[in-house]
Amino acid sequence: MTTPPTEPSTLFHAPVVFVTGKGGVGKTTVAAALAVQSSKAGKRSVLVEFDDGDAGSRALGAEASHVAHVVLQYDRALIDTLGSVLGAKIIARALVSHGALRRLIRAVPALREFTFMDRVCALASSARYDRIIVDLPASGHALDWLRVPQAFARFLGMSPLGNMGRRIHNEIVAPGRSEIVVVTLAEPLVVKETEQLCERLRTQLGTVPALVVVNRVVSPDPEGSWEAASSIASLAPELAPEATELMEILRARDDQADDTAYAFGLARSVQARKVLPLPEAAHDPPAATVAEWITKGIAA
């Protein structure tokens, strides 16, 4: 009988995990991988996205049947949130359907972010899942999303929305109530932005990421690759053009490996409980493969 792999309990203490990072860094794939990892460890896991779930579906791939996938649509989420405030979903539906009132409601600053955070809080309160992985927007907006509930509580006081904001913050945002994972690339400028985000998380939310994933780290080619390529021309002169091209590729990869090693060195100073490199892949790896990399990396 195969024993399911255990989840790294020392890394994730809270049931809600927010995943963020710049666009194009592999954020959704990592979020899907964390959901797969939890599922394989025997937990009821769910991947949560907002508005469009195509990216998550592609990332989950063959694992979609084992991991719940919730895509929150704004209009439906807004009706649910307003319904809980007003005490009747039918009234909320009427308000959202009314043209003039709909425009007025949509003009409320940060209401979209607040609504989605409320729905994540509702998922956490439902106890349907052991691990909720939330694919947040790009890192430039992630901190704003996490700050919105407390902002509503501060500015709206003891009003229904103010109380709701206070509850959301206390249940899924406050230190110890959720975990944050930041995905970055092995590029110095991107790592610098990640460092700034982690510092803002510490100073403005009082928390540090549980995990910073440095994606697409290029490993050096096997020792002797250059010598083997250069010997091709002497051993088989007819392959000299191909050998020259291969040596140029190896030279470029060697430079890239140096660059990513330097970037990962910078990333290791980022304020986080764990900084984990993920290797470069020829094609976008499936979530199950990334989950294995993360599990081995955390255990190392």
Structure confidence by residue, pLDDT tens digits, 117-138:
999 999 999 989 999 999 998 7
With a CB cutoff of 8 Å and minimum separation 6, the contacts of 90 are 83
pTM here is 0.87
Q: What is the pLDDT of residue 35?
A: 94
Question: Higher-confidence residue: 6 or 38?
Answer: 38
Q: Is 67 exposed, middle or buried (0-12, 13-18, 19+ CB in 10 A)?
A: buried
181, pLDDT greater than 60: yes
**Percent of the chain scored above 70 by pLDDT?**
91
CATH assignment of 16-299, among 3.40.630.10, 3.40.50.1820, 3.30.70.1350, 3.40.50.300: 3.40.50.300
pLDDT band at residue 139 under the 50/70/90 scheme: low
Residue boundaries of the structural domains of the chain: 16-299
Secondary structure class of 98 (helix, strand, coil)? coil
103, pLDDT greater than 80: no
pLDDT band at residue 140 under the 50/70/90 scheme: low
Q: Dihedral angle at the C-alpha atoms of 52, 87, 145, 10, nearest 10 degrees?
A: -90
pLDDT band at residue 2 under the 50/70/90 scheme: very low
